[in-house]
Structure 1
């Protein structure tokens, strides 16, 4: 007599949900994935219009070894699944009040020379800085990123104890202070401080441990998958289906179903038995499962899908937490070429304290520090011939009150005003005087879109910020303390924000299910 195959339902078809479903199915689970939207991807979305295809979420491909490891767990490889291209320069930076931008290269030695040209002595200082970043990153991979923190032993390893004299000060000191102690040129300080934004934080709030991020772009370089990040979503969905996952879109989960747990010795009040959802025809359905994995926004999962008495992270817990920033996204189809911009371009305002302070106070900065992606510089599939594709991100407060975006200027007035200001700023700083006149496709996305379409907490674009109190073992865990059989994955939980972190969160889920308390990446099956 064979044992019954355990069943699982995954809520959310973003990167973390697809990755979790694929790994669980490969491990022997009978998996169904439910996605609220008609398309998969979640924050890694896509929009196609009049020959243009826009990624509406992640656009930086860093930490390729994480992707390599994840694909290996599924019996394949990055090379088999994605066509990768190294960007060189990795990105261009425009500085307010400076005539010339700075190009950050794909190789360390070129970046050392660049820093030396900006500040005498900064080349050698960068070498030391990147060596430190690499050591910290390696320890993070071995001891922090791939652990569920279920065992206290992670803090007693030789790795951690041998580096405690470096790690503790890096946790207690801000990234801004860490950089300022080593470099005086404001341009260098901004280049090295900007990675905090990838973490949903700011340089004065992110622990200096996150200087490890500089090893990823200044040392390793920035990659791009041909076809864009929607290609990655397609690959993950295909791999999940190959493992037997049933993927159902336009399926909105309204409740995590539970039964009470009785008897002595039980640490949990209930056990998950599945979910209730509305299918694509609007019919309410019950789906039974032994395991429920919530890869949707954790705040939504806890406060909307569970009763108060079963919430591990109730509203009062969230009231004490810090959200990452919100954003206005501007998708532009532009006639003609834009050689003034690289694939990635950054526009840094002079007064960063005011910039980040405005966001914390609920205001969109003016001028803002803007990010622009021009994927058509690398990928001909994202725009018609003779046109360019621009993705513009303007960080702002996580405030759905700013409103929703829209096409051709039809979004909320506050959102469209931010978009107009961003287009004007890019035109002036990059010397593209006729940029606004050349726009043939325009769509905006506002914080209310994040809140309503993705159930994003406070309308944030990324998730809870990586402050000290919300990093590593202090971040929300990936298992419910109140409901047996309920697990979490995605940017709200460990290890955190970003595509690589979402892939790792799927592996951490698998570790939980296996009872694996090891700290490093899982062994790849032969």
Structure 2
């Protein structure tokens, strides 16, 4: 049996453990924190349970495929609920909210009602988005790029005239050439944030994101995203993987150019033939590999890279109901470009007022808040800068962070017509870039990973194997293929493909299941 140590017990680490244990590896997962989940963590207090990370269940076919590789299905592991509306959009106080309902016909009708002619243009836009998404899944996302065969495929080369414009202009340019109303532009451009970037920086190929919420639909796993983590951890353990918590890895051991295992804080050594690090890639390369000669991505490499934004998270337990908010709500600042310049520009600062996201899972799930109360998760994209400070419980974070949280609560209260929101808060916690840096070793305190700029996407993203150390592999949000829970599941599969010697650009074939 191949002895394999996986560094990190987030979704990428647990998924890799499940796949490799199923291949016969003797797998040990080492997670530094007391609970698995990593960025997809959770926090409980006074009957409230908050997800502290991802909250949009998109790309359901990626989850289905992953579960199928393990001989099960999403339906067997999760209780998935479709959301209607997919999300609600708010502008400044005095503007009417817009409900975005999944389904092309509904989306077309919404756009046409706001801007005559926009319905037909959205129809074409979503057709293109669906095509770009299919191309990404079949050609880019599952390719380990161990060879250039996939990129040289004649069928792909014939698509270059359509692909090149999508790679060389920004998402904002692509959208704003087609739509005039600011609200419609914001709806189509905001998904850039889910890619860790700005619509003025990510390539327009990523208009494919609109296919996911408008064509495909948005689901929610009842119990929260901690149930996704629990399901994958359960599958990994069921295949024989050992999952250790409070087991911080301090060094990846290297001898004669090959990995030999890991050393934990405190001195324990776990020998291994293969090490897969799903920890933050910057931390892996610059801290866990102690010899500079072993680093594929040294500090000077990171000097030329772009992190995703940081995040100010505000977790609120609220007395009484909040029907003004949908399960997912987005508040869009009127000074749209200036908002992103505040986050990514040279004069980086917390935007005010901010474009922000509010998740109200208690709209769908009665297990996340006590009866008669609501659960709110607020995410404010901010600069990736741990110097902004750390959060805390009940106002106990750094003063600048708590003041920004107060401003965000007041903004939600005014824009969403909940004037007494602040007075109804009974539980409060803030999480800030300093927490991401300290608790998750996140590079520059970023919240998501490496941003999906052109030079950090697909073939240009960090590979999933070290060029300096044999049998050292990578998975997670800064390696192939990218940011988000579905991408992390694919990154685990890419490690499996590496170890199998599979260089094909598509997903691994699913095993046949016995008919029921």
Fold conserved between structures, TM > 0.5: yes
The match for 2:262 is 275
Aligned to 1:426, which of 400, 412, 415? 412
The corresponding residue for 1:496 is 482
Query: Which residue does 1:264 correspond to in 2?
Result: none
The reply on whether 1:24 has 2:20 as its aligned counterpart is yes
| Matched-pair contact (CA < 8 Å) for 1:54–1:391 | yes
Q: Residue 98 of structure 1: CA displacement?
A: 5.0
Q: Is the 8 A contact 1:477 1:493 kept in 2?
A: yes
Identify which of 315, 334, 342 aligns with 1:350: 334
Alignment of 1:290-305 (within 5 A): 290-305=273-288
Output one character per residue of 1:320-368: Cα deviation in whole Å (capped at 9) or x when no partner. 1011100110000000000000000000001111100011232011100
Matching of residues 106-505 of structure 1 within 5 Å: 106-260=102-256, 270-278=257-265, 283-306=266-289, 307-360=291-344, 361-505=347-491
Encode CA deviations 1:44-101: one digit per residue, 9 max, x unaligned: 0000000000000000000000000000000100010001010010000001365201
Deviations 1:367-407 (A, max 9, x none): 00010000000000000000000000111001111111011
1:78 counterpart residue number:
74
**2:488 is aligned with 1:513:** no
- Equivalent-residue separation in structure 2 for 1:31 and 1:211 (angstroms): 38
**How many Å apart are 1:159 and its aligned residue?**
3.7
Q: Deviations over 1:263-314 (max 9, x none)?
A: xxxxxxx000100003xxxx42001110000000000000001111110000
Q: What SS does the corresponding residue of 2:179 show, helix, strand or coil?
A: coil
d(CA) in 1 for partners of 2:351, 2:34: 34
Whether the 8 Å CA contact 1:139–1:159 is kept in 2: the answer is no
Q: CA deviation at 1:463?
A: 0.8
1:523 corresponds to: 509
Would you say the 8 A contact 2:34–2:245 is kept in 1?
yes
Tell me, in whole angstroms, the C-alpha distance in 1 between the residues paired with 2:388 and 2:509. 46
Q: Which runs of 5 or more structure 2 residues have no equivalent in the other structure? A: none
1:254 match: secondary structure = strand
Deviation, structure 1 residue 106: 1.9
Alpha-carbon contact 2:307-2:446 (below 8 Å) kept: yes
Q: Offset of 1:160 from its aligned partner?
A: 1.5
C-alpha distance in 2, partners of 1:190/1:149?
34
- Bigger shift: residues 357-366 or 340-349: 357-366
CA–CA separation in structure 2 for the residues paired with 1:364 and 1:525: 48
Which SS does the other structure have where 2:255 is aligned? strand
What is the TM-score of this pair, normalised by structure 2?
Answer: 0.98
1:158 Cα deviation (Å)?
A: 3.7
Give the deviation of 1:162 after TM superposition: 2.7
Contact kept in structure 2, 1:329 and 1:394, CA below 8 Å: yes
Q: Is the 1:97–1:350 contact (alpha carbons within 8 Å) kept by the matching residues of 2?
A: no
Cα distance in 1, alignment partners of residues 503 and 240 from structure 2? 27
CA drift at 1:161: 1.7
SS in 1 for 2:380: strand
Residue-by-residue CA offset, 1:433-480 (whole Å, 9 max, x unaligned): 000000000000011100000000000000111001100010111000
Contact preservation (8 Å) 2:310, 2:382: yes
Does the 8 Å contact 1:449/1:459 carry over to 2?
yes
Contact conserved, 2:41 with 2:52, CA < 8 A, in 1?
yes
Matched residue SS, 1:497: coil
What is the alpha-carbon distance in structure 1 between the residues aligned to residue 173 and residue 384 of structure 2? 25
1:479 touches 1:488 (CA, 8 Å); kept in 2? Answer: yes
Moved over 6 A (4+): none
- In 1, Cα distance between the equivalents of 2:224 and 2:98? 25
Residue 54 of structure 2 aligns with which residue?
A: 58
Question: Match for 2:99 among 82, 98, 103?
Answer: 103
In the alignment, which residue of structure 2 is the partner of 1:267? Answer: none
User: How many residues align structurally?
Assistant: 509
Using the alignment, how far apart are the partners of 1:130 and 1:98 within structure 2? Answer: 30
- SS of the counterpart of 1:303? helix
Asked if structure 2 preserves the Cα contact closer than 8 Å seen for 1:91 and 1:104, the reply is: yes
Q: Is the 8 A contact 1:108 1:219 kept in 2?
A: yes
Q: Identify which range, 176-185 or 96-105, moves more after superposition.
A: 96-105
SS of the residue corresponding to residue 353 of structure 1 reads helix
Task: Report how far residue 484 of structure 1 moved.
Answer: 0.1
- Offset of residue 258 of structure 1: 1.0
**Distance in 2 between residues matched to 1:215 and 1:158, nearest whole Å:** 26
